[in-house]
Structure 1
């Protein structure tokens, strides 16, 4: 299933609101974990402030940070050029649930930069399987399919700011990013190794028009349970 950004943000906000009126978490199990991906192709390295305090510093384009632990609740998140206090290019409020993992992606070109907030599925993956979430974060790329070279389409018709998740047999794949519904390959990704019982996030980044289209593959978690910190 392909999920648009608006739906994700609404889910995160509603989940946080529901917590306020429901049962409280057990003491010691109330932390959320948050990480950031810099996917804005023309933005400089950035610092990320949480409630005004530095949380991630000097994050470069295509870089995933480690997870940072935060107690559940509401936070203000701001993004500024690395080493500076202004301009604030992203200013957003996040609601975090306990015992949840989140990825905040700074995407689009600098003039239109915005956050895409995803809740990470860092839980059980079956034996013999890998779970892959694909995120389309290339601002000038049309809708795309992700396919095995000479094989099946794994993700179809994913548009900018959308994502999709599926499980596949663990192994090494030669993958292709294609224009949706066609055999036209815009990016080849040979030798992608997906380990057993491991969750990944794959993100299309860069720009077609600038010749910088690429992909970032991040290991999210692995079983026996171990989160990529």
Structure 2
């Protein structure tokens, strides 16, 4: 489940995982999802080791977790219109381990696309975890704070992610500030946090431009 918050900070996509990439037992596979966070990139297909793994992802789309055999993977991103032919928009090698969950974030403008691979930790117990990813290409480094209160995550720049912050379950009013400032550049009201769940909040869109800044809050782990 995810909530899209109209403010700063990354539609479930149909997933077609290559049968050759799937392993028989869950503890023998890595679980991987992809987030399309490039605000000016077209709809894309993601190929893993030369085979289509995720197809038709548009900006703001988040795939379900798909099972992949562990090891080093060649990840290629093509415009959907290319049908996997020609030069990919991006090619990168990633290593995934059995029994672990990953989020792969495609971020940046299309002429300078990159991939950020994150290991997702599934929550447990009576607390929750909150992690942030800065994927807004034209936004400055930011602090994330309680509304009119303390800073929770400091000096997060584009392309960076924070560690998980342990928080109590509640509904939070948060705000994003330019680093070192007390002035909110955007408000994140009523952010829902459940006990035993870890979350990743991803900043997408442009600070000045279209598509506008937005936040996607994702539950982590399978």
Question: Could you tell me the TM-score, scaled by structure 1's length?
Answer: 0.80
Query: Aligned partners of 2:95, 2:117: CA distance in 1, in Å?
Result: 10
Q: 1:151 aligns with which of 149, 160, 165?
A: 149
Q: Could you state the TM-score of these two structures normalised by the residue count of structure 2? A: 0.83
Equivalent residues in 2 for 1:105-124, closer than 5 Å: 105-122=105-122, 124=123
* 1:76 to partner: Cα distance: 0.9
Q: Which residue of 2 aligns with 1:46?
A: 44
Offset at 1:28?
6.2
Q: Deviations over 1:94-150 (max 9, x none)?
A: 11111111111100000000111111112x4331x1101101111111110111112
TM-superposition CA deviations, 1:2-41 (whole Å, max 9, x none) = xxxxxxxxxxxxxxxxxxxxxxxxx863211111100101
How many Å separate the matches in 2 of 1:87 and 1:189? 39
Provide the alpha-carbon RMSD of the alignment: 1.5
Decide whether the 8 Å contact of 2:26 with 2:99 is kept in 1.
Answer: no
Aligned ranges 1:115-134 → 2 under 5 Å: 115-122=115-122, 124-127=123-126, 129-134=127-132
Question: In the alignment, what sits opposite 1:90?
Answer: 90
Q: Which residue number in structure 2 is paired with residue 196 of structure 1?
A: 195
- List aligned pairs for 1:42-81, cutoff 5 A: 42-81=40-79
After TM superposition, which residue ranges in structure 1, 4 or more long, deviate above 6 angstroms?
A: none
Q: Structure 2: 5+ residue runs without aligned partners?
A: 1-24
- Structure 1: runs of 5 or more not aligned: 1-26, 222-226
Higher relative contact order (CA 8 A, sep 6+): 2
Question: Are the aligned partners of 1:81 and 1:87 in contact in 2 as well (CA < 8 Å)?
Answer: no
**How far apart in 1 are the matches of 2:124 and 2:150?**
22
C-alpha separation between the residues in 1 aligned to 2:168 and 2:90? Answer: 38
**Contact 2:37-2:107 within 8 A present in 1 as well:** yes
Number of matched residues?
A: 194
Q: Hey, what's the Cα distance between the residues in 1 that align with 2:30 and 2:113?
A: 25
Q: Any idea what SS the aligned residue of 1:134 has?
A: strand
